[in-house]
Amino acid sequence: MEQGSNRTQPMRAKTGSAAWRKVEECWSEGKFLCVGLDPVLERLPAAIQSGDPGERIFEFNRAIVDATADLVCAFKPNAAFYEQYGEAGYRALSETIAFIKSNYPGITVILDAKRGDIGSTTEAYARAVFDVLGADALTVNPYLGEEAVRPFLERADRGLLILCKTSNSGAAEFQDAIVGDTGRPLYLVVADHVARLWNSRGNCGLVVGATYPTDLGRVRDTVGGDVPILMPGLGAQGANAELALAGRGDPSWGLIANAARSVIYASAGADFAEAARREAEKLSVDLSEALK
C-alpha cells in the first residue's frame, strides 16, 4: 500500500490534491488549529445583543475570524447552528463563508453538516455546499457507502471529511461494533475503506474525536500519513493530539484540530475577540508542544 511506504519517509508527505492545497500550506507554517463557528444568539457578547439575528451572527463571526485568522488552518461553521435561525441564519452562514474566502483566501472553510444521502440527492447537496455556499470542504456521514457519496468525491478540488469515530460519549454504539471476521471495529473499517477505496482523487479525510485518543492513533496507523484528520473536541484533551500523528515520520502534517465554544465564547464582554485570540494562541502553543 502506498500509505504504508509513505509512512517510512522522513519528508513531509503531500496528498497532491487541490482539495488540501491551502491547508497543507498552513500546516507547513505550523498551523493546525481550526476554529468552529457555532453561533448561539443567547451567548453572543452584550455588545452584539440587538438587531437582526442574521446580522448579529455575521458581525460576531467576522470579529472572531479577524481576531484568529493568522493562527488557524481552517474555520468550521456547523450548519445546525445557522439552520436553527431559519432564513436569517442561512444568510449569516452564507455571508460568513463569503467573508472568509474573500478576506482570508488561504484559509480552508469546512462546512460541518455531516451530509449523506443517495447519489441523486448527494448531487444536490454538492451544489448547495460547494457551489452555492462556496465551502472548501464538507463533513460527510459514511453510512450509505461510497456509491452514494460519489458525487461529493468527484469534486476533486473540494475536501470530504468522513465521519469515522465521532467525539460524542455514545459513539461506540455502532462505530465500535466488531465487523465480521476482520476483528476490527466499524470505525476502522470505515477508515480503511476511505483510505483504500474512496480516496482515489486524494480529497478524502476522516473525522476522529479528540475524546478517543487511542482510537485516533489506531486510525492513523490504519490509514497512514496521507489522509488528513479533522479532530473535534480540542480544549479538554488537546495534549493527546500527538496520537493523531502516530505512525508518521514527520509530525508537521495531517491534523485539523478543532475547538469551538472554548474559543468563540472565551469572554462575553467587549473584549470577546481579544479573548478568543488569547484562547486560540494558547491552544496553538499546546498543540505545537504536543506535536513536537
Query: Which residues contact a copy of itself by CB under 8 A?
Result: 38, 40, 78, 80-81, 83-87, 89-91, 94, 114-119, 121-122, 124-125, 127-129, 132-133, 141-148, 163, 166-175, 177-180, 186, 189-190, 193
Rounded least distance, CB 72 to a copy of itself, Å: 20
**Judged by CB, which is closer to a copy of itself: 152, or 253?**
152
Question: Which of 14, 101, 114, 282 is labelled catalytic?
Answer: 114
Letter for the amino acid at 142? P
**Judged by CB, which is closer to a copy of itself: 69, or 172?**
172
Rounded least distance, CB 171 to a copy of itself, Å: 6
**Judged by CB, which is closer to a copy of itself: 178, or 285?**
178
**Judged by CB, which is closer to a copy of itself: 26, or 264?**
264
Distance CA 223, CA 240 (A): 19
Letter for the amino acid at 193? H
What the block records as the C-alpha cell of 153 is 468525491
Rounded least distance, CB 276 to a copy of itself, Å: 19
**Beta bridge mates, 72:** 33
What sign does the dihedral 106-163-229-158 (CA atoms) show? negative
Q: Please say if 114 is a catalytic residue.
A: yes
CA atoms within 13 A on the CB side of 2: 11
**Judged by CB, which is closer to a copy of itself: 116, or 217?**
116
Cβ atoms within 10 Å, residue 99: 17
Place of cell 474573500: 102
Rounded least distance, CB 130 to a copy of itself, Å: 10
Rounded least distance, CB 8 to a copy of itself, Å: 30
Alpha helices in the chain (DSSP H): 2-6, 21-28, 53-68, 79-83, 86-103, 119-126, 146-153, 172-175, 186-193, 213-223, 261-264, 272-291
Residues known to be catalytic:
114
